[in-house]
Structure 1
């Protein structure tokens, strides 16, 4: 039996795709019970289609996909475009999946899955946390039954990437992030502090492209059209942590989200010292460092057999 039963809540997204491939390639450690989609990198119709296309490429029609929320609780201001391309996968021409989404809404799937397996399900949001927050608001009792929430989002000790203050996933729906932060669930945060160190260098890109299987080749093509400069594998850090937590290290902190100010919308404020917590307990493990060589070896090794 796998060590972790998880739901990946995502907005694919190039790095989301690689996070999903990493989960597919790690059956000894990961049981992926479902994929839920949310608007984020691109609109919901695209993120949902992309999740299905990713499953089809890897031959994983057995993993159910559930369509979630098309907007944040209070939608973010408009933006110029996505670093993931117009379709979310860098314009790489993956075929459409020959299967579709489940009829149940993602929020209800999350609630039912957690209630039916108390203490067993880890939620892995790697996009805006709208679906997770609405599940907690609709059925607050599930908070005590969630094993852990391991998420990609935020920037505790460095600038953001959507604004000087905010990382993209939190900026899109800061109110959802604050619901999650105040839920009382066990939380582990993979923000830009650590994911910004997971850089796909030219040598690493060449090593990925040298792997002969379709998943590795398509991943390399997607990464080649991802963002500007050196792309970073933000979202796969979440899955890699569940496979091998010794790859990472971090600190305990009190993390809160700025929701009110238009200038600092989505800022994740992390108080580490007792002085700054002012008597409030830590609510989150903030991951700050990784062994990047071992991380990339893990990712490429797990993609190779797919």
Structure 2
């Protein structure tokens, strides 16, 4: 018997690797995408919202009828930061992108999350590829909501190093207070952080395999990841861009591609060198109960084959 698709809301800040991730999600029959919610992050919210519409257009009939919404345009307590040096000024540095086929829906992303989760208690997964501001606002407005969410799968944080600062990964640093609210909410949370995503690199041969798909989606992904590769060579010395957000979507589709460890994780919210750091209690030294299932290993080859195979189904 084939399992029914899991209901999902995609929440993110597209951003070029969000685009690849969301195309993977729309191409995967395991997921039934109920809606897309944009948040500040890689680019300011107006650009992230437009990019959401562009990605839906790229997904073609797979995204037909899927609504998208504007969410939070800033962190809960701090000023907004962006990652345009990694994603380009537009967030989607590719040629001949389609225009959105329809405008965003009226209303706020947080209201959409609230009513969608409440309509399907225990059955909706939030796959988050940006700062967690929208989810934190929803959890604060409705304290019962963490218990009603099936799970939160978040690309963010790390068991070790940062990328925006030596201590902090970008999505965690972009709203550390929101990340702490969500991780400490009691919801089931899975964290896919830099410690695994930096092992999944879109090398030139992999980019050429995407281009060779011969589809618009494959061509756009190849263009985006070519731009990303230059930024990664310049900043991190890697031979290609890391597939951060696609790995989080893959974790929702095939969690067995990763190894998981239940850990106590807290987010540093005090100003200073460690702001935004996800403090993972790897050895249980605090004696506190685990609150997050953290990805600690990944089958990189199997992950990329999944990505390539699924994107081949898109126009």
- TM-score category of the 2 structures, normalised to the smaller one: over 0.9
Decide whether the 8 Å contact of 2:132 with 2:179 is kept in 1.
yes
CA deviation profile, 1:134-156 (whole Å, cap 9, x unmatched): 00001111111111111000011
Q: 1:210 to 1:80 in 2, by over 3 A?
A: closer
Which residue of the partner structure matches residue 176 of structure 1?
A: 178
Deviation at 1:91, TM superposition (A): 4.5
Q: 2:187 aligns with which of 182, 185, 188?
A: 185
Structure 1 residue runs of 4 or more that deviate by more than 4 Å after TM superposition: 76-80
SS in 2 for 1:235: helix
CA deviation profile, 1:155-203 (whole Å, cap 9, x unmatched): 11x2100000000000000000000011001110000011111101111
1:242, 1:75 → 2: CA distance? 30
SS in 2 for 1:162: coil
Question: Mapping of 1:83-122 within 5 angstroms?
Answer: 83-122=86-125
CA deviation profile, 1:30-58 (whole Å, cap 9, x unmatched): 01101000010000000000010011122
Q: 1:57 to 1:81 in 2, by over 3 A?
A: closer
Q: 1:120 to 1:80 in 2, by over 3 A?
A: closer
2:41, 2:182 → 1: CA distance? 17
Which residue of the partner structure matches residue 252 of structure 2?
A: 242
Q: 1:86 to 1:145 in 2, by over 3 A?
A: same
Is 1:2–2:4 an aligned residue pair? yes
More helix, by proportion: 2
Decide whether the 8 Å contact of 2:84 with 2:90 is kept in 1.
no
2:22, 2:161 → 1: CA distance? 27
2:74, 2:133 → 1: CA distance? 8
Is 1:291–2:295 an aligned residue pair? no
1:79, 1:304 → 2: CA distance? 31
Which residue of the partner structure matches residue 54 of structure 2?
A: 53
SS in 1 for 2:190: strand
User: Would you say how many aligned residue pairs link Structure 1 and Structure 2?
Assistant: 302
Is 1:200–2:202 an aligned residue pair? yes
Q: TM-score, normalised by structure 1?
A: 0.95
Structure 2 residue ranges without an equivalent (≥5): 234-239
Decide whether the 8 Å contact of 1:61 with 1:99 is kept in 2.
no
Q: 1:131 to 1:299 in 2, by over 3 A?
A: same
Which residue of the partner structure matches residue 257 of structure 1?
A: 267
Q: 1:104 to 1:302 in 2, by over 3 A?
A: same
Decide whether the 8 Å contact of 2:81 with 2:174 is kept in 1.
no
Which residue of the partner structure matches residue 273 of structure 1?
A: 283
Deviation at 1:75, TM superposition (A): 2.6
CA deviation profile, 1:51-84 (whole Å, cap 9, x unmatched): 1001112212311101101000123465684300
Q: 1:87 to 1:21 in 2, by over 3 A?
A: same
Q: 2:161 aligns with which of 134, 138, 159?
A: 159
1:289, 1:124 → 2: CA distance? 19
Q: Could you tell which deviates more after superposition, 76-85 or 247-256?
A: 76-85
Q: TM-score, normalised by structure 2?
A: 0.93
Which residue of the partner structure matches residue 38 of structure 2?
A: 37
Structure 1 residue ranges without an equivalent (≥5): none
1:151, 1:134 → 2: CA distance? 16
Which residue of the partner structure matches residue 18 of structure 2?
A: 16
Deviation at 1:225, TM superposition (A): 0.9
